[in-house]
């Protein structure tokens, strides 16, 4: 049985134990496969990764008893997400999730405390207990009366105090697999930890293909292309994928995606990973937007009326991979951020031609389009075809892509 099937079977068993406990009453219980979690009602999420790993290999009776203790702790009035600030601050840990995490989940999902960590990857905060784990919501922060920045900083400090030692071996790959409480996929947030791994010859590069694992390698050109291929495959096959991108230190000691860390022979592989992550995340978001427009005719929380949610196209160019999106005449769009925008028209024979292709930021400046407030990943609302003077300015900014 594959991991997806194992997790689904385990979740169904936990939901059955929960129903038998009578703790949920008439609240709706739903399984969220993307986060391996169970949602109870509108605002409580039971994350199953820890308990799944902890009960692996147990006899049936022992496993059920352990699951029942887990559920009792989560459903009690003393559950960690209901505790006071001084009771939880030592248990906070940062976690990384995709920007589209939670989109499309059945019913209303809690408003999680979140901020961007890397492109298409957000930083959240977990409350880690022996038997439970919850993700901090904006309601929690308001109830505690603690600024978001302090909550994030506290979580990072707590993780820094528990970091596992590691060594950077030339040509070697070190793999960390989480048992549910290691938080290895959060290590890229710890620039000091990464900086300590640097050697005179190589920078450290970390990969987080899924939420439970981390790969550590040197930026050795002889192995890095192959590592990007391995990680891409793991990312695409993971039950809970996170990122195909590598992360390393730039010249200022800041952790950045590898495609933003300067020249390197493996730069095309990093650009491919960056483009692949963008296309995957925007595809997920496009499906969610389309479903919302189909059912609600508008998206009230973003004050959006129907428009086509375009998805960027991946292009493997001569100078490296990039993404491009299309702004077509006679239609309204929610454009994703891409490397380029192609401005296209259709003639009377329904043949499509490209007037010009412009770098995204240049096109946004010339046309004046801006991102929809609060929408992640960001999209730009386009309701009108550019006027002739604007088209002329765009034509002057045209680039030739090969």
Per-residue pLDDT tens for 280-309?
999 999 999 998 998 888 888 899 999 999
Q: CA 303 to CA 112: how far, in whole Å?
A: 20
Average pLDDT of span 365-375: 95
What is residue 291's three-state secondary structure?
helix
Q: CA 343 to CA 355: how far, in whole Å?
A: 6
Whole-number pLDDT of residue 77: 46
Let me know: does 254 contact 297? Beta carbons within 8 Å.
no
Let me know: does 80 contact 127? Beta carbons within 8 Å.
yes
Q: For 342, phi and psi rounded to 5 degrees?
A: -100, 125
Q: CA 27 to CA 29: how far, in whole Å?
A: 6
Q: Which residues pair with 116 in a beta bridge?
A: 122
Whole-number pLDDT of residue 132: 67
Residue 283, class by beta-carbon neighbours within 10 Å (0-12 exposed, 13-18 middle, 19+ buried)? middle
User: Comparing C-alpha atoms, which of 244, 249, 250 is closest to residue 228?
Assistant: 244
pLDDT higher than threshold 90 for residue 185: yes
Q: CA 164 to CA 184: how far, in whole Å?
A: 9
Q: CA 181 to CA 208: how far, in whole Å?
A: 16
Type and span of the H or E element at 320: strand 320-328
pLDDT interval class at 21 (50, 70, 90): confident
The distance from CA 185 to its chain's CA centroid, rounded to whole angstroms, is 12
When the pLDDT of each residue in the chain is averaged and rounded to a whole number, the result is 87
Lowest mean pLDDT among 25-39, 88-102, 318-332: 25-39
Let me know: does 245 contact 118? Beta carbons within 8 Å.
yes
Q: CA 225 to CA 373: how far, in whole Å?
A: 37
DSSP state of 28: -
pLDDT higher than threshold 80 for residue 82: no
Lowest mean pLDDT among 72-81, 248-257, 288-297, 304-313: 72-81
User: Comparing C-alpha atoms, which of 102, 99, 88 is closest to residue 141?
Assistant: 88
User: What tokens were used for 138?
Assistant: 């904006």
User: Comparing C-alpha atoms, which of 362, 358, 375 is closest to residue 309?
Assistant: 375
């Amino acid at each position: 049985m594959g991991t997806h099937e194992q997790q689904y079977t385990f979740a169904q068993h936990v939901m059955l134990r929960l129903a038998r406990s009578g703790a949920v009453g008439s609240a709706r219980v739903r399984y969220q496969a993307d986060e391996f979690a169970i949602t109870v009602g509108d605002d409580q999420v039971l994350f199953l990764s820890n308990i799944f790993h902890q009960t692996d290999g147990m006899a049936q009776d022992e496993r059920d008893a352990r699951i029942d203790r887990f559920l009792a702790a989560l459903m009690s009035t003393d559950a960690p997400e209901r505790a006071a600030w001084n009771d939880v601050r030592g248990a906070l840990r940062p976690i990384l999730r995709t920007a589209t995490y939670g989109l499309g989940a059945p019913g209303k999902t809690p408003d999680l405390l979140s901020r961007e960590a890397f492109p298409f990857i957000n930083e959240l905060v977990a409350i880690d207990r022996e038997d439970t784990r919850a993700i901090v919501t904006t309601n929690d922060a308001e109830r505690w009366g603690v600024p978001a920045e302090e909550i994030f900083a506290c979580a990072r400090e707590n993780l820094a105090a528990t970091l596992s030692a590691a060594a950077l071996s030339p040509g070697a790959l070190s793999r960390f697999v989480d048992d549910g409480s290691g938080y290895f996929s959060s290590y890229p947030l710890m620039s000091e930890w990464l900086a300590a791994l640097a050697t005179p010859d190589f920078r450290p590069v970390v990969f987080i293909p899924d939420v439970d694992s981390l790969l550590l390698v040197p930026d050795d050109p002889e192995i890095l292309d192959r590592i990007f291929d391995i990680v891409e495959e793991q990312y695409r096959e993971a039950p809970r994928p996170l990122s195909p991108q590598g992360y390393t230190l730039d010249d200022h000691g800041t952790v950045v995606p590898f495609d933003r860390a300067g020249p390197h022979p493996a730069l095309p592989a990093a650009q491919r990973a960056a483009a692949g992550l963008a296309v995957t995340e925007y595809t997920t978001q496009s499906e969610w937007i389309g479903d919302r427009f189909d059912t609600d005719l508008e998206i009230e929380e973003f004050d959006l009326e129907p428009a086509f949610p375009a998805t960027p196209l991946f292009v493997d160019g001569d100078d490296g991979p990039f993404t491009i999106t299309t702004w077509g005449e006679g239609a309204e769009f929610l454009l994703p951020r891409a490397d380029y925008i192609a401005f296209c028209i259709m003639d009377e024979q329904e043949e499509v031609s490209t007037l010009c292709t412009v770098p995204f930021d240049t096109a946004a400046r010339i046309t004046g389009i801006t991102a929809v407030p609060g929408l992640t990943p960001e999209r730009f609302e386009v309701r009108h075809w550019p006027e002739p003077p604007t088209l002329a300015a765009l034509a002057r900014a045209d680039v030739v892509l090969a």
